A and B are shown apart, each in its own frame.
Chain A
C-alpha cells in the first residue's frame, strides 16, 4: 500500500481569499499525479493530470504544481468563490494502479 497524504483535512475561507493545499506521495518510480474536484452528491471530476517534474497546470482560477523529486504537489485556488466549495482529491498513479488521498474539504463562505 502506498501512502498518499493530503493536508489540511479541511479548510474554511472567505470569498475572495486565495488558498492552497498539499498532496504528498512517494517520490520513487513516479508515473503520474491526478487532481480531482468532488462536490457532495456528485462524482469526482478530473482537474489535472501531471506527469513531469516541475509541471504547472492551470484551469481558470485553479492551478497546480508538481515536484516529483521531493514527492509533493500543490493545488492553488485564486480568489475563492462559494462554488469552489468541494473536496479536492489527489491520486498517485502507480502505473495505472491508483492510490487516493483522503482529500481536502474546502468551504468558501460568501
Chain B
C-alpha cells in the first residue's frame, strides 16, 4: 500500500530535549515536505526536499533541521524544542504529476 508513515503519532517532551520525528514513504517520490498545523493559522511549510541531499527552507524553518540521506526518509529534528513548537506536524511526499500524500500526523507537546 502506498503510504507516508510518520512516527511517533503522539509525543510529549520537555523543553530542550532533542527529538526526531521520522517520515518514510514507499512511493519513490523525489519530493518530501514537513508542515505544522496550528489553530487559526493553517498549514505552514517548515522544510522541503527536492531529492536526496537537497533540502530547502519553507515558511517557518526556525528551530528545525532536516536531512535527506535516502530517498524514502525525511526526518524532522528539533535540537532544542521549546513550548512554541507544540503543534500538529505533517509529512508529505509526491509530485506535480502524481499528487501529494500526507502522513497521519504527529501531535507534539513541549512542556
Name A residues whose Cβ lies closer than 8 Å to a Cβ of B.
Answer: 1, 32, 34, 42-46, 49, 51, 89, 91, 93, 96-103
Contacts and interface: CB of A to CB of B under 8 A. Distances in A.
B56 A100 contact: no
Interface in B82-97: 90, 92, 94, 96
B68 interface: no
Interface of B: 31, 33, 35, 40-45, 48, 50, 56, 58-59, 90, 92, 94, 96, 99-105
Nearest to A98: B45
Given A34-B100, A43-B102, A46-B100, A96 B50 contact: yes
Contacts of A45: 102
B107 to A, nearest CB: 11
A44 B102 contact: yes
Q: By DSSP majority rule, is chain A's interface helix, strand, loop, or mixed?
A: strand
B40 A102 contact: yes
A99 B33 CA distance: 12
27 contacts: A43-B90, A43-B102, A43-B104, A43-B105, A44-B90, A44-B92, A46-B94, A46-B99, A46-B100, A46-B101, A49-B99, A89-B42, A96-B31, A96-B56, A97-B45, A97-B48, A97-B56, A97-B59, A98-B33, A98-B43, A98-B48, A99-B59, A100-B45, A101-B42, A102-B40, A102-B41, A103-B42
Interface centre among A51, A89, A91 (most CB of B within 10 A): A91
